[in-house]
Structure 1
């Protein structure tokens, strides 16, 4: 008996495609049988052969102090996965986003979202401890913007125990230890 898997056009699953390692969609079986497995995937869930790899950088000091190294230095950069070009792409500077850690890319809007993080010696961006920032790539060049201030929405994200980013004795033991201070995306 020949068993062939087909997905009807217009069905909620018509975006699925057989994967390279997903075997076949046609089976031959004798009599009653089970265990005919097929692997399907959504092609747009996967990236190109040489994707950009993004990382965050941390700068000592207050990035909101104009002219400081922390204000003008890179806080978000990317490089090609295959690293044929060694110089990074500059995506955001300290005065735009401050210290950020949690990151998520939304393919549909071509946007990278970043969450503020409490880090010893590194200051927050314009939205403070509750800041979520967006880097929009839809125009071809990165455009950085304030996205949401979770604190302004009444969401408890903790407090900053430091007087200034470079001098933070209370922050030494708190960084990363309190759930409210960990980035959430």
Structure 2
């Protein structure tokens, strides 16, 4: 049973690494797609068509399978812990509630994943739901999920997760991301003016 746990744990890691890679890349393509909207024809149509093709490929070929692998392997690990005394029960071991919080964040990340599909469809229809700067900020959402889920999993399993430090750290990190994005935006605008 322990060998099965290790197999599914490795598969889970492969799944979530691929999922995050896809979401990060998809977010960058959104930025480029939006910036292509400001180009003159025929460059605009050519770029937008290419970016739309790339968005769908990343979403369907990388993000969707990786999300399914992540969820499947993770739920199997939880199930193994419920039904085998040889495998830790992740729902009851470690810091109380850590697995529930991790699962909640995974549900929110799945909602974010599905929301990206809606964005692709809207952009494909010619809508411009966000500015390139807003897409840059949205592209940081997977970073927040990655950091939060990783720390919750490591410290929660060890039984040393402090929820106050977790929330405080996330708030500080969000602030730093926002300040960095704003500084980058100002630097870009300064270069474009000169």
Q: TM-score, normalised by structure 1?
A: 0.25
Rg (Cα) greater in structure: 1
Q: TM-score, normalised by structure 2?
A: 0.24
Could you say which structure has the greater relative contact order, defined with CA pairs below 8 angstroms and 6 or more residues apart?
A: 2
